[in-house]
Amino acid sequence: MRIGCLIGVVSLLSVSLAQPDYPGARWVPAYSGNYTASNRPSTYPIRYVIVHVTQGSYSGTISWFQNPSARVSAHYVLRSSDGEITQMVRHKDIAWHAGNWTYNTQSIGLEHEGWVNDPRWFTTAMYRSSANLTRYICDQYGIPKTRSYIIGHNEVPGATHTDPGPYWDWNYYMSLVAGPNASYAGATFPSTIRPGEQLVAVVRFNNTGGVTWSPSGTNPVRLGTANPRDRSSPFYTAGNWISANRPTAVDATTAPGSTGSFSFVLTGPRSYGTYTESYQLVQEGITWFGPVVSFTLQVVPWDIVIDNTSSQFSVSGSWTLATMATDKYGANYYWTSTNPSSTAYARWFLNAPIDGAYDVYAWWSQGTNRSTQARYEIAHASGTTAVVVNQQTNGGRWVYLGRFQFPKGGGNVYLRATAPSGYVVIADAVRIVGPY
């Protein structure tokens, strides 16, 4: 007695753990005597999808296929109200639905809740759900998406049934089955980006499906984040993307056979490192489609040099432009004589690209006439910090002055000539790296 109970429990457990062939469908098995076990497509090719109408309710049809007295079944049953799908017979097995043994062996049957003479049952939700299922089956078994292979029960040779009937909209249904599809056509995508930097990316897809892509309307075609799908992208900023998981819609209406572009702005995040951005197309409210495309970006620090030739450089007082030193940065540099009461200065405007802490460096050409007390003053978010350096050494390279907090668009470095007399100070280049 206990053994029998245990067998029953194992049997129920195996049913509950079974997975449908179509992702998203429910699995409710038909009675084993209402179909023929097989091993398709090894035993028989799967060449057709046959559309039925239940002439009854969704739940009633499911119950009937589980009834040993029925002697009929279909692979799938679809609900009118929301397009819910229940699978009842495996693709590999032969459902008894077509009334023609040859077509039974070579087809997958879809039962749609409703009555052939009442079009109210043929809802948009059910059409779309069924079309997605049919497209999946056709893609899986290489079935052409045409009316020669996607047929009604009434079109089976020798049929005595009239379903799906005169109110089934074949044109609409087949347009949904053809559905959106795409192939990757290329991209213009940056390989590096800096925090706060905004760069334009363009991803292009060929419209290989049967639906025109629209940038607006009820079911626009957009680029969505992938891997995982619908994730929030670290390159999103409000105002540039539709949302954190939708960079953009297609730039313009794109007919089948044409190439559509998807242009959007990437904003560099603050965390450095290697990022992989993945995207896929989605027709909102209908389906995701086309290939997942991925791009690798390096988020790197800003590394900005302000040379004495830059518009962000200026001098006040009497300075001389020179080119003689071989260890200069760029083509030339400025010098002026030192004096404790001098008011001369050189200024580098940093224009920090994003608020944060930056490492500041200076470059000069060294010489025995250079001041050993050249005074750099860094104006930062918390005030001004003086850094005194010896310009008789460390010439021809970047010399670290320190790390300072700058607001976006702010920051200045000044070189003063207020040092003991008898020397010169060299104003050449300043560099900032960050933020950190």
Report domain extents, the chain.
15-178, 182-300, 303-434
Side chain identity at 325, as an amino acid letter?
Answer: A
The pLDDT of residue 14 is 41
**Per-residue b or e along 281-309, where b marks 16 or more CB atoms closer than 10 Å to that residue's CB:** bbbbebbebbeebebebebebbebbbbbe
- Ranges in the chain, pLDDT < 70: 1-17
Residues 6+ apart with CB under 8 A from 250: 213, 214, 215, 220, 221, 222, 260, 261, 262
State the pLDDT at residue 16: 45
pLDDT at 179 (0 to 100): 79
pLDDT tens, residue by residue, 126-152: 998 999 999 999 999 999 999 999 999
* Residues contacting 95, CB < 8 A, separation 6+: 30, 35, 73, 74, 75, 88, 89, 104, 108, 109
Give 372's contacts (C-beta < 8 A, 6+ positions apart).
390, 391, 392, 419, 423
| Cβ-based burial of 330 (10 A; exposed 0-12, middle 13-18, buried ≥19) | middle
Query: What integer pLDDT is reported at residue 17 of this predicted model?
Result: 56
Residue 37 carries which DSSP code? -
The closest alpha carbon to 238, from 198, 178, 190, 206, belongs to 198
Residue listed under structure tokens 């590394």: 303
Q: Do 113 and 80 meet the contact criterion of CB atoms below 8 Å apart?
A: yes
Q: Facing residues of 273 across strands?
A: 299
3-class state of residue 165 by DSSP: coil
Q: How many CB atoms lie within 10 A of CB 142?
A: 10
Given the candidates 2.130.10.10, 3.30.70.1230, 3.10.129.10, 2.60.120.260, the CATH classification of the domain at 303-434 is 2.60.120.260
Locate the DSSP E strands across 155-310: 182-188, 192-193, 198-207, 221-225, 248-249, 259-267, 273-283, 287-299, 302-307
Task: Tell me which of 2.60.40.10, 3.30.365.10, 3.50.50.60, 2.60.120.260 is the CATH number of domain 182-300.
Answer: 2.60.40.10
Question: Architecture of 15-178 per CATH?
Answer: 3-Layer(aba) Sandwich (3.40)
Q: For residues 430 and 435, what is the distance between their CA atoms, to the nearest angstrom?
A: 16
Residue 228 neighbours by CB under 8 Å, 6+ apart: none
The pLDDT value given to residue 210: 79
What confidence score (pLDDT) does residue 15 get?
A: 44
Q: 325 — phi, psi (to 5°)? A: -65, 135
Report which of 232, 230, 347 is spatially closest to residue 292, judged by C-alpha positions: 230
Q: Which residues contact 34 (CB under 8 A, 6 or more apart)?
A: 65, 67, 68, 70, 71, 72, 73, 96
Element (DSSP H or E) covering residue 60 = helix 58-65
* Same fold for the pair 15-178 and 182-300: no
Tokens of 150: 């996607």
Number of residues in the chain: 436
- Per-residue pLDDT, 209: 83
